[in-house]
Amino acid sequence: MATAGAKPRRTVLIVLLIVGAVLALFLACAGGVGAIAYYAFKSGGEEATHLVDELFGSIAAGGDATYYQRRTSDGFRQAASPEVFAQLCELVRTRLGKLESSQQESLVMRQNNLDQFLDARFKARFEQGEGRIETVWQRRGGEPWRLHNFVVKSPRLLDAMSSRACPHCGQQAPLDARFCPHCGKAIEAGEAPQTDAVEAVDEADADEAANPK
C-alpha cells in the first residue's frame, strides 16, 4: 500500500521537478536573452545620445563641413549636398542655438544585410526653443556609426521657413511682405531664404527612411 501510494507521488514529483527544471532553464535563457537585448538597447541608447551630442556640437561650433565629410553615410551624401547640409546647419545654429539637453523618445535598431541602422528620436531643448530631433545612423561592419538621416522639427524652424530677415533691421518679416513690419522699410523681392534646400533634405530623408538601403 505504501509503495503503491509512493510511486505515483514520486512520478508527480519527478514531473514537477522536470517542469521546474525546464521552466528554470527557460527563464534563465529568456532572462539571458532579455539581458543581452536590454544591454544592446541601453548601450545603443547611450551611443545615440553621444552621436547626437557630437552632431549638434559640430553644428554649434560651425564645424559642419568637416562633419559632413567624415561622419555622414554615403546615402546621406547622395541625398544632401554639402551646401544643403550647411544651410540646414546654419538654420539650426541661428534659429535654435546650442543643444542644451535631449531626452530620448524612441530607439529602434535594425539590421539590413551588412548594415546596422539605429533610429533614434529625441525631444530636445535648444538655447532658443524646444524641438524634436529625428536621426538615423548607419554602421557597416566594424566602422563607426555615420549620420544617415537627420531631421529637426521646431516651431522656430518653421517660422524661419516662412519668414526672412529684413535687410534693414535684421528682424523677421513674412516672406511675402513688401514692407518690414518692424522698421517699415521696403523689402526687395528675391533673396529668398533656403526653404527649397531644407525641403529637399526632408524629402530625401523621408525616402531614405521609407526605403533604407
Pick 132 or 168: Cβ nearer Zn ion: 168
The residues, any chain, with a CB within 8 Å of residue 98's CB and separated by 6 or more, are 56, 60, 126, 127
Tell me how far, at minimum, the Cβ of 73 lies from Zn ion, in Å.
Answer: 41
User: How many residues sit close enough to Zn ion to count as binding (CB under 5 A)?
Assistant: 6
Specify the residue, 165 or 200, whose C-beta has the smaller distance to Zn ion.
165
Q: Which is nearer to Zn ion, 82 or 170 (CB)?
A: 170
Q: Judged by CB under 5 A, does residue 6 bind Zn ion?
A: no
Which three cell numbers, joined as nine digits, stand for 14?
A: 519527478
Q: Is 135 exposed, middle or buried (0-12, 13-18, 19+ CB in 10 A)?
A: buried
Nearest Cα neighbor of 115 from 55, 56, 70, 74 is 74
The minimum distance between CB 113 and Zn ion, in angstroms, equals: 54
Amino acid at 201: V
Provide the grid cell at 78: 547622395
Q: Find the shortest distance in angstroms from Cβ 185 to Zn ion.
A: 6
DSSP SS3 for 182: coil
What values do phi and psi take at 147, rounded to 5? -65, 125
Site for Zn ion in 183-212 (CB under 5 A): 183
Q: In this complex, which beta carbon is closest to Zn ion, that of residue 92 or of residue 166?
A: 166
Nearer to Zn ion, 103 or 162 (CB): 162
Query: Using CB under 5 A, which residues numbered 125 to 184 contact Zn ion?
Result: 166, 168-169, 180, 182-183
Nearer residue to Zn ion within complex by CB, 142 or 190: 190
Residue 145: how many CB atoms within 10 A of its CB? Answer: 22
**Strand pairing partners for 108?**
119
- Please state the closest distance from residue 165 (CB atom) to Zn ion, in A: 8
* Count of Cβ atoms closer than 10 Å to residue 170 Cβ: 11
Q: How far is the CB of 183 from Zn ion (least distance, A)?
A: 3
Binding mask of the shown chain, residues 46 to 85, with x at each position contacting Zn ion by CB under 5 A: ----------------------------------------
The Cβ of residue 160 has, within 10 Å, a number of other Cβ atoms equal to 21
Residues that bind Zn ion (CB under 5 A): 166, 168-169, 180, 182-183
